[in-house]
Amino acid sequence: MSGAPISLSDIAHQIPSNDADFHQQTVADLLGRRSLGFPGAQPVSFSRHHLLELRNTDYFMCEKTDGIRCLMFLTEIAGAEAQFLIDRKNDYYYVLTDSLHLPVPGNVGGHHLGTLLDGELVRQSWKDKQGNPHTRLAYLIFDLLAIDGENITQKQFDKRLARLQERVVKPFKEFKARYPEDVAAQPFQVEMKRMEFPYGFEQMFRQTLPSLPHGNDGLIFTSREDPYTFGTDQKILKWKPPLENTIDFRLLLGAFPMLTDDEGAFEDWDAMPEMELHVNHGGGQSGYRYFANLTLNDDEWEALKRSGKQIDGRVIECYGDPAMNGDVWRPKLDDGMPRFRDDKKDANHISTVESVLESIKGAVTEEDLIAESGNIRTPFKARQKAREDAEKRRVEEERRKVAEVPRRRESTSTATARAEDDDVGPVYTDE
């Protein structure tokens, strides 16, 4: 299923940059950052050496949704609940007042203040039992950076997910159960993305992915133990099948074909021009360098012309055609139309491009992942058991200490008073 195009401006109002500056500063302060840039983590492309990483380190796995990546900032304006969607350009989109409600635990009318979610907005399609088609927008949450004014980016991933489940998702589900009509009228639904163990590939490929109500273009692996990293995170791995292993380039139009008539030579504006793909090497617009030409067929060129939209300078998603050993670059398509990434301000940086090219060169297939399941599962289960055993020992030790307290009190009551300089003072614990 291909992800239908979504525009944040269809469901929220983009606020002016001078207004966005205030909220960007608020978010930066909340996260303890100096930078006002987009704080979202970015994955690295999955390569063959990452198979060993999955054996040696605990990861959680989820499907990679083909939608719009955006953060959601939960705050208030003049005492009223407010939400902002934040895209990768760091533009802020204000969700219409009173159109979306995310309650706090124990108070269905209360709202979050100083909470930052990470997720993806996607269009879902399905048919009911009578065969009638339905569509809706859904925001799938996969991480939590801050909750009600508390920055939790330094906590490990599974702890952040636990906070997300208890403080955001559970209260929303209770609200939905009590007021289903109100939730159905919201501009989009809110769900927590399901995480799986990193070895359940057969079920993922055979059952989960084919039954999704939205587009999917791969898998995401996130380290269980690591904190949230702003920008590129080497502990978030993005696996894609060959045709989905794409690069976002800056598209620049070159020369149009020349025609001649009695008055001389002229450019044929209806014909397909040369199309250059440029890579971001840093340093702003002057830092782009030529990478390759884009290859379109006639139908794709006609689709671009019919759209009536400017294409020069936009970011376009492309893949190396495997039939041509990856040397010919083709556009990713949505219903026959080349996919432009207008949600992105810049094309991929050269470091990302090199990572994707390495991933393509050392491609790990669906069959490779399935074959690796046992090698990942065995050490994962061993580490899991070791943690459970350690927790049992900790609980038993706590019980032993509690049982010793009466005996210590009895001993203290019959003992002689100690000298003042023998007093070691209070003991503090943070559990």
At 123, list the tokens.
């269009």
Query: Could you give the angle at the alpha carbon of 85 between the alpha carbons of 315 and 338, nearest 5°?
Result: 25
Residue 346, by phi and psi: left (phi above 0), alpha (psi -120 to 50) or beta? beta
Q: What does the radius of gyration of the chain's CA atoms come to, in whole angstroms?
A: 27
Chain centroid to Cα 128, Å, comes to 29
Q: What's the CA gap between 150 and 165, in Å, rounded? A: 16
* 8 Å CB contact between 199 and 380: yes
The catalytic residue among 64, 238, 240, 332 is 64
* 8 Å CB contact between 11 and 95: yes
At 299, list the tokens.
């139908």
Q: Is 127 a catalytic residue?
A: no
Q: Which distant-in-sequence residues (6+ apart) come within 8 Å of 386 by Cβ?
A: none
- Residue 94 vs residues 167, 341, 383: alpha-carbon distances, Å: 22, 21, 44
Residue 194 β-bridge partners: none
* 8 Å CB contact between 228 and 31: no
Of 318, 105, 282, 81, give the one whose Cα is nearest residue 186.
81
Q: Which residue numbers are catalytic?
A: 64
